[in-house]
Amino acid sequence: MPDSVLGGPACLLHFDDEAAIARATAEAAGLAPAQVERHRFPDGELRLRLPAALPPRVVLWRGLHQPNEKLVELLIAARAARELGARHLTLVAPYLAYMRQDMAFNPGEAVSQRIVGGFLGTLFDAVITMDPHLHRIERLDEAIPLRHAIALSGAPLLADFIAGRRPQALLIGPDEESLQWVAQAAQRHGWDHAVCRKTRHGDHEVDIALPVGLDVHGRAVVLMDDVASSGQTLVRAAQLLRAAGAASIDVAVTHALFAEGAVRRVREAGVREIWSTDCIAHASNAVSIVPTVAGTLRELAARPD
pTM, entire model: 0.93
What is the pLDDT confidence band of residue 8, given thresholds at 50, 70 and 90? low
Nearest to 277, CA basis, from 117, 94, 142: 94
Strands 37-40 and 46-49: antiparallel
Strands 220-228 and 206-209: unpaired
Q: Are 11 and 301 in contact (CB under 8 A)?
A: no
Q: Are 48 and 74 in contact (CB under 8 A)?
A: no
Helices (H), 84-178: 112-123, 155-165
70 is catalytic: no
Backbone conformation region of residue 263, classed left if phi is above 0, alpha if psi is from -120 to 50, else beta: alpha
Averaged over 197-223, what is the pLDDT? 83
Which residue is catalytic, options 114, 148, 193, 198? 198
User: What's the rounded Cα separation, in Å, for the pair 131 and 80?
Assistant: 28
Q: Structural domain boundaries of the chain?
A: 11-152+289-302, 155-287
User: What's the rounded Cα separation, in Å, for the pair 200 and 168?
Assistant: 31
Q: Compute φ and ψ for 25, nearest 5 degrees.
A: -70, -40
What is the pLDDT confidence band of residue 1, given thresholds at 50, 70 and 90? very low
Q: Into which CATH architecture does domain 11-152+289-302 fall?
A: 3-Layer(aba) Sandwich (3.40)
Q: Are 182 and 171 in contact (CB under 8 A)?
A: yes
CATH for 155-287, options being 3.40.50.2020, 3.40.47.10, 3.90.1150.10, 2.102.10.10: 3.40.50.2020
Q: Are 302 and 293 in contact (CB under 8 A)?
A: no
What is the pLDDT confidence band of residue 6, given thresholds at 50, 70 and 90? very low
pLDDT at position 301 is 92
User: What's the rounded Cα separation, in Å, for the pair 182 and 191?
Assistant: 10
Least confident of 116-125, 165-174, 207-216, 233-242: 207-216
Identify the helix (H) or strand (E) that includes residue 290.
helix 290-302
Q: Are 254 and 155 in contact (CB under 8 A)?
A: yes
User: What's the rounded Cα separation, in Å, for the pair 123 and 75?
Assistant: 7
155-287 shares the fold of 11-152+289-302? yes
Q: What are the E-state strand segments in 94-147?
A: 126-130
